[in-house]
Amino acid sequence: MSLDVTLQTDPGILSSDPVEEARRQIEICNACRYCEGFCSVFPAITRDKVFADGDITQLANLCHNCRGCYYACQYTAPHEFDLNLPRALAAARADSWERFAWPDGLARTFQTRGKALAAALVLGTALMFAAIAALPGGGTGFYAWLGHGALVAIFLPAFVLPLAVICVGLRRYWTEVGGLRVNWADLKCAAVSAGRLKNLSGGQGQGCNFEKEERFSDARRHMHQAVMYGFLLCFAATASGTVLHYVFDMQAPYGFWSAPKLLGVPGGILLSIGSAGMLMLRRKADPELGTPGRGSGERGFIWLLGFAGLSGLLLYAAQDSWLTGPLLALHLGGVLALFLLTPYSKMAHGFYRFAALVRDAQDQRTRGHV
Amino acid sequence: MTLMDPGQLSAGVWDVVIAGGGNAALCAAIEAAETGAKVLILEGAPKVYRGGNSRHTRNFRCMHHGALGPLVDTYDEEEFWQDLLRVTKGETDETLARHAIRTSEQCLPWMQSHGVRFQPSLAGTLSLDRTNAFFLGGGKALVNAYYLTAEDLGVTVAYDAQVRHVAIADRRATHLDVELGGEIHTVRGRAFVLASGGFQSDLDWLARAWGPSARNFLIRGTPYNRGVVLRDMVDQGAMTVGDPTQCHAVAIDGRAPKFDGGIVTRLDCVPFSIVVNKHSQRFYDEGEDVWPKRYAIWGRLVAAQPDQVAYSIIDNRAIDLFMPSVYPPISADTIEGLAQKLGLSETALAGTVRAFNAACRPGNFHPQQLDGVATDGLDPPKTNWARPVSEPPFYAYSLRPGVTFTYLGLKVDKSARATGPDGPYDNIWSAGEMMAGSILGQGYLAGFGMTIGTVFGRIAGQEAAAHVA
């Protein structure tokens, strides 16, 4: 029975290092435990007495920034312990994504600078205009502007390469947090939690404290659901188009009563509304409880998501008109930027958050509640 | 709503004026406001520190028959009363105490319907899941919920508003003198509820009452409970209860902040350690009973030692046996090295440890129960968990007395009405820590402070509102 107490920090000494500062605050939380019922982070904290770097990374990625613990905390500033766990974990979380993304430095650029995301959008759009000019297609609908072969040539690598980088990052994450072999039960547990955004429910369905200070609200949970399901529907729409094309030899354009449109139109609407909602909620929320220094990149990412959704809807609305060409370039430019930046923008959070939920399911299964 | 213009304080006559901004004050404000009364809360702390010691609480002790909210089984009046009798050793008022116990059952649903959320017992406190309902997020979450409810009911809240004087004429309070923004305002009202806590944060008062050593005590709760209103009432001849010299003190980590350290400064290692004073001498049986039953007496034990400090010393085998402490232990590979780091005499500490180790006898060590593994021929003895402190590294935590609350309070009746030199006041009620000494004259029962505050806060609010109706 030994414990590596050298890991313990002095609760009175604040640190500028994100991992060290998160450790200091987590140790204070573990000595208090009043917040145990809010989310998965606090029961996970009680399973340990000291916290290695990997434990901090796991707890940081498990946190959904609902902020319930901040408003309930008796140790927030001006108390000398100066607790702000949502911010401390957000800082450690962003730090972990930036460490895990290959190559070094790229993630930091896009996480901290909205302008970099905007530049990627402009570049992506310019590339698509150039492609349309250089590679006119021979089909109908938007294939008249850009051929199917050209689309595949651009988007297949733009989809596969970022995914490969994400896989490398997830592997690094899994090693750092000491993850075990994944089984179906863990995946199911994580999928249910992510699908319901259980960790934004406040523990009892009252919601989170994102935009109304100590009052609870479900607004962020609902807006995030709109974004998440909107994105997944859009993705499913594209995937269904691919299946129709290759398996059933049915070429675009598809009518309204087709899988790509029935999935894509509601997806685009949800994505647009959700993104606008998330941006509005952010304006009301206290930035001091969010990720330090990443606000610009986070806003830029939401704008990019919303832009991809809205431009897709407009492209459909403008079908068969002269606007199809320019809108196609804008939409595909947005999607291209979104895909390519997946490992380097806030988009990465979805993958790491899911991994953290899987790891937490494992931890609950193997160690239970202490 | 939050008061923005201090001039508003003295602009008219309030129906119910409440001195204090913790649990009892808020319960009173909500009850009064629900009758339509115009209510003012005078909270002495700034908004970020609102809620007095209620900010640091975590549960509510509650009588119940069958499952109620998060509570399981049954906890009836008699068992509750016997628990109270045991800790107070009879220093209680049976009528008031039974009234608080009985009313607690209907308070839990009332709390829920006014915004308080409960959660299952916290990890490590399972023994309380029958008797104590834990607040989701702790006491500050409860305080936040009540402020929001009060705000929705139209209660006016003035922060940084410190009551200096209760003006009383002919058994009737006429107004309060309230300091806000460096000026004294006259706050007139028709009924007054005094719920502004004890005096434990006034170190001078504590030193006068307890003795000069009290200056070395740490105050576990808010620095704003300075007993100004209590003193003012006592000076005007209000009847009091509770020993004016006593406070409830537990042993906490000696490195804790002077004020407001709260729950995280607790230290649970004592039963698995030997505890020495600054002369490296042991002074009490560390293994007398399980820690939840002993932590409260250790505040007084340490207070009686020179410089009011002690050191709990364990070895490597004991470091993982207790709840995590927020302060890292002081560690060394030898007892002499540890003594050096603690500023103790190396030879004296080594001698004490050697004598203790020599007195230990073989036995089956069980950290979770009274194992009877005792020393032989040692004074004072260690009667449980007496295992040699012998396996390096060695660890030490410093201990100091941490004051939770004081016992002196205003005497009230079942309707929470305070009593002056000429009998009950016409329009002054009191609730919470300010009158808890009536019921809790000695010792402490976990979660019972919140029971008293909720029960009598609600009664005070109802009575005050009925008075002005």
Asked if residue B97 lies in contact with residue B41, where contact means CB atoms within 8 angstroms, the answer is no
The alpha carbon of B40 is separated from its chain's Cα centroid by a whole number of angstroms, namely: 25
Dump the DSSP string for A189-206: HHHHHHHHTGGGTTTTTS
Closest Cα partner for B393 from A259, A17, A2?
A2
pLDDT of the residue at A147: 84
Does residue A208 carry a pLDDT above 90? yes
Alpha-carbon span A170 to A183, nearest angstrom:
16
Q: Do A34 and B144 touch (CB under 8 A)?
A: no
**3-state SS, residue B250:** strand
Condensed to tens digits (0 to 9), the pLDDT of residues B42-56 reads 999 999 999 999 999
- Strand (E) or helix (H) holding B61: strand B59-61
- Give yes or no for a cis peptide into A253 (omega within 30° of 0): yes
Condensed to tens digits (0 to 9), the pLDDT of residues A247-290 reads 999 888 889 999 999 999 999 999 999 999 999 999 999 999 99
Q: What angle do CA A119, A123, A126 make, to 5 degrees?
A: 140
Q: With a CB-CB cutoff of 8 Å, which residues 177-206 of chain A face chain B?
A: 203-204, 206
Question: Is the CB of A215 inside 8 Å of chain B's CB atoms?
Answer: yes
Phi and psi dihedrals of B169, rounded to 5?
A: -135, 120
Q: In Å, how far are A135, A243, A261, B353, B388 from A254, measured between CA atoms? A: 22, 13, 7, 85, 81
Does residue A121 carry a pLDDT above 60? yes
Q: Which residue of A has its CA nearest to B149?
A: A215
Alpha-carbon span B188 to B191, nearest angstrom:
9
Residue linked to tokens 């505890």: B275
Does residue A218 carry a pLDDT above 60? yes
Alpha-carbon span A341 to A348, nearest angstrom:
9
The alpha carbon of B70 is separated from its chain's Cα centroid by a whole number of angstroms, namely: 23
Alpha-carbon span A61 to A350, nearest angstrom:
10
Does residue B157 carry a pLDDT above 70? yes
Alpha-carbon span A155 to A153, nearest angstrom:
6
Q: What share of chain B is helix, strand, coil (3-state, %, to 5)?
A: 35, 25, 40
Condensed to tens digits (0 to 9), the pLDDT of residues B204-262 reads 999 999 999 999 999 999 999 999 999 999 999 999 999 999 999 999 999 999 999 99
Condensed to tens digits (0 to 9), the pLDDT of residues B286-341 reads 999 998 888 889 999 999 999 999 999 999 999 999 988 899 999 999 999 999 99
Closest Cα partner for A289 from A126, A7, A68?
A68
Enter the tokens of residue B30.
């909500």
Asked if residue A294 lies in contact with residue A114, where contact means CB atoms within 8 angstroms, the answer is no
Does residue B121 carry a pLDDT above 80? no
Q: Which residue of B has its CA nearest to A10?
A: B327
Q: In Å, how far are A340, B162, B163, B193, B432 from B166, measured between CA atoms? A: 70, 11, 8, 11, 18
Condensed to tens digits (0 to 9), the pLDDT of residues B16-73 reads 999 999 999 999 999 999 999 999 999 999 999 999 999 999 999 999 999 999 999 9
Rounded mean pLDDT of A153-179?
96
Q: In Å, how far are A297, B14, B72, B202 from A117, measured between CA atoms? A: 7, 57, 54, 57
Closest Cα partner for A108 from A366, A348, A360?
A348
Average pLDDT over chain B reads 95
pLDDT of the residue at A146: 85
pLDDT of the residue at B128: 87
Alpha-carbon span B61 to B127, nearest angstrom:
13
Does residue A27 carry a pLDDT above 90? yes
Q: In Å, how far are B30, B41, B116, B149 from B154, measured between CA atoms? A: 9, 11, 19, 9
Alpha-carbon span A226 to A28, nearest angstrom:
35
Condensed to tens digits (0 to 9), the pLDDT of residues B353-377 reads 999 999 999 999 999 899 999 999 9
Strands (DSSP E) found in B94-244: 118-119, 132-135, 156-158, 162-169, 172-180, 183-194, 218-219, 240-241
Rounded mean pLDDT of B194-199?
97
Q: Cβ contacts (< 8 Å) between B395 and chain A: which residues?
A: 5
Q: How many CB atoms lie within 10 A of CB A221?
A: 22
The alpha carbon of A322 is separated from its chain's Cα centroid by a whole number of angstroms, namely: 35
Exposed e or buried b per residue across B353-387, where buried means at least 16 C-beta atoms within 10 angstroms of its C-beta:
beebbebbeeeeeebeeebebbbeebeebbbbbbb
Alpha-carbon span A108 to A139, nearest angstrom:
41
Q: Tell me, what's the ipTM?
A: 0.96
Amino acid at A205: G
Name every residue whose Cβ is closer than 8 Å to that of residue B82 and which is 6 or more positions away in sequence.
none
Residue B353 C-alpha, separation from nearest chain A C-alpha, in angstroms = 21
**3-state SS, residue A32:** helix
Asked if residue A111 lies in contact with residue A98, where contact means CB atoms within 8 angstroms, the answer is yes
A&B contacts, CB < 8 Å: 111
Domain boundaries, chain B: 6-244+407-468, 250-402
pLDDT of the residue at A370: 46
Amino acid at B223: P
Q: Which residue of B has its CA nearest to A45?
A: B123
pLDDT above 90 as % of chain A: 88
Strands (DSSP E) found in chain A: none
pLDDT above 90 as % of chain B: 92
pLDDT of the residue at B126: 62
pLDDT above 70 as % of chain B: 99
Residue A194 C-alpha, separation from nearest chain B C-alpha, in angstroms = 22
Asked if residue B312 lies in contact with residue B397, where contact means CB atoms within 8 angstroms, the answer is yes
Fold of B250-402: Flavocytochrome C3; Chain A, domain 1 (3.90.700)
Alpha-carbon span B81 to B446, nearest angstrom:
13
Condensed to tens digits (0 to 9), the pLDDT of residues A283-312 reads 999 999 999 999 999 999 999 999 999 999
User: How does residue B124 score in pLDDT terms, banded at 50, 70 and 90?
Assistant: low
Residue B334 C-alpha, separation from nearest chain A C-alpha, in angstroms = 17
Domain boundaries, chain A: 5-98, 101-366
Q: Do B122 and A33 touch (CB under 8 A)?
A: yes
Does residue A352 carry a pLDDT above 50? yes
Q: Do B137 and A69 touch (CB under 8 A)?
A: yes
Alpha-carbon span B208 to B219, nearest angstrom:
16
Chain B interface residues (partner A, CB cutoff 8 A): 48, 55-56, 58, 117, 119-120, 122-124, 135-141, 144, 147-148, 255, 257, 260, 262-264, 266, 316-317, 319-321, 323-329, 331, 395
pLDDT of the residue at B295: 86
Q: Do A33 and B123 touch (CB under 8 A)?
A: yes
Helices (H), A76-201: 85-100, 106-112, 114-134, 148-177, 184-196
Asked if residue B143 lies in contact with residue B47, where contact means CB atoms within 8 angstroms, the answer is no
Residue A299 C-alpha, separation from nearest chain B C-alpha, in angstroms = 29
Alpha-carbon span A325 to A334, nearest angstrom:
14
pLDDT of the residue at B354: 98
Name every residue whose Cβ is closer than 8 Å to that of residue A47 and which is 6 or more positions away in sequence.
A363, A367, A369, A370
pLDDT above 70 as % of chain A: 99
Fold of B6-244+407-468: FAD/NAD(P)-binding domain (3.50.50)
pLDDT of the residue at A369: 55
pLDDT of the residue at B127: 76
Does residue A97 carry a pLDDT above 90? yes
Q: In Å, how far are A14, B343, B411 from A10, measured between CA atoms? A: 8, 20, 44
User: Nearest by CB to B326, which of A28, A36, A69?
Assistant: A28
Rounded mean pLDDT of A18-33?
97
Enter the tokens of residue A9.
């920090």
Rounded mean pLDDT of B390-396?
97
Question: Is the CB of A34 inside 8 Å of chain B's CB atoms?
Answer: yes
**Beta partners for residue B241, in sequence order:** B409
Amino acid at B263: I
Q: Cβ contacts (< 8 Å) between A72 and chain B: which residues?
A: 136-138, 140-141, 144
- Strand (E) or helix (H) holding B39: strand B39-42
Terminus-to-terminus CA distance in chain A, angstroms? Answer: 16
Residue linked to tokens 């003594």: B339
Q: Do A34 and B329 touch (CB under 8 A)?
A: no
Q: Do B48 and A76 touch (CB under 8 A)?
A: yes
Amino acid at A288: E
Asked if residue A19 lies in contact with residue A53, where contact means CB atoms within 8 angstroms, the answer is yes
The alpha carbon of B26 is separated from its chain's Cα centroid by a whole number of angstroms, namely: 17
Alpha-carbon span A92 to A55, nearest angstrom:
11
**Full-model pTM:** 0.96
Residue B255 C-alpha, separation from nearest chain A C-alpha, in angstroms = 10
- Strand (E) or helix (H) holding B297: helix B295-303
Q: How many CB atoms lie within 10 A of CB B337?
A: 16
